[in-house]
Structure 1
């Protein structure tokens, strides 16, 4: 018996995966298995961010693989738009890196029970950040709480990593994710809007991600070119001030409990 990763680039339309990349785990080599075989497994899919050297991860529920159902996964692992957006770093030089982590749970042995609780906790806040030209390497907001967890807005006025000197970089920072144990996660939906002060519109980018991840912050290295930000005709930078709005919703709280 062996496991293989199945990727459907155009999405599994049978499971409403259109517009997304679908990923699955499949059991192969089952001819050597006894009749009525079954395998219980918990799996996590990973997509490597080649710009930030970290991973987007999505964990599935514990699934029972059997002869009549030997394929399980996620029809909407990641949208095509998010995957192809160059600043996200998932597709670089027409290449991506996908992987999976699998835990097989034995029947009659210690296993794990997954609990996924839907949350409605949300937050919306607007920051007027002044003296932009004198902020230094980075700017960190005050702490705020959403979904019983603590967060901050992290901003690099002159960019970070390969965007330094070219773009403004904006991230959501998890303050307490580093204290999570390995069985606890939360999924957030975050929108960041760099607003035009002339009409209230702006550039808005959104993403969904599980915390903790390999990084304690998640966002956009190349949120906006500095030339566009600093052009007075655009209205983003006025009197050396910018306005950044964040909408944050904790969608799910995920935990794994040992069972004996």
Structure 2
């Protein structure tokens, strides 16, 4: 990391020029150095914090909920210069099948960056009824989705439906990113 290295006061000048010490002979001296090169295995990262992170809201209308079988994905939206989307598992994820709806926030195309974000996911239903969960997560590598496997029990979802539809809303705020140094 340093281009040069040394000892600022190796020995007193009086000691160096005294002929009886043998460092200076006939106004000549010889310096030597041994260099050991150690391959560094350390990885460097650069953390960039957002100065004034702005939350971004994305609304997704879910229609014909009772007929949905497979997972659904929202359109991609941008928050903090990163692309995101919501994943809805209308019959629950693999751990909550036929018990709860599962909702996840997914980071799309971030490369090898880690992204720290806070989020609120809301289900908005009839008569202004709202259910929400809030969290924060480092989205990175294989962990580019995070959310709520047990967002809302399937039996309770019926209370929110307005004509077999509701709105999922994600509010995402990117706090910072980490990237690898070259």
Q: What TM-score results when the alignment is normalised by the length of structure 1?
A: 0.51
Q: 1:151 aligns with which of 74, 81, 84?
A: 84
1:90-239 equivalence runs, <5 A: 109=40, 111-119=42-50, 120-177=53-110, 180-181=111-112, 184-198=113-127, 200-230=128-158, 234=159, 236-239=160-163
The residue aligned with 2:164 is: 240
Partner of residue 252, structure 1: 176
Runs of 4+, deviation exceeding 4 Å: 107-113
Q: 1:74 corresponds to which residue? A: none
Q: Which has the higher contact order (CA 8 A, sep 6+)?
A: 2
Aligned counterparts of 1:222 and 1:110: Cα–Cα separation in 2: 41
Residues 217 and 110 of structure 1, relative CA distance in 2, 3 Å threshold: closer
Question: Highest Rg: 1 or 2?
Answer: 2
**TM-score computed with the length of structure 2 as normaliser:** 0.71
Deviation at 1:216, TM superposition (A): 2.9
CA distance in 1, matches of 2:177, 2:170: 20
**SS state of the match for residue 162, structure 2?**
coil
Alpha-carbon distance in 2 for matches of 1:128, 1:145: 18
Q: How many residues align?
A: 144
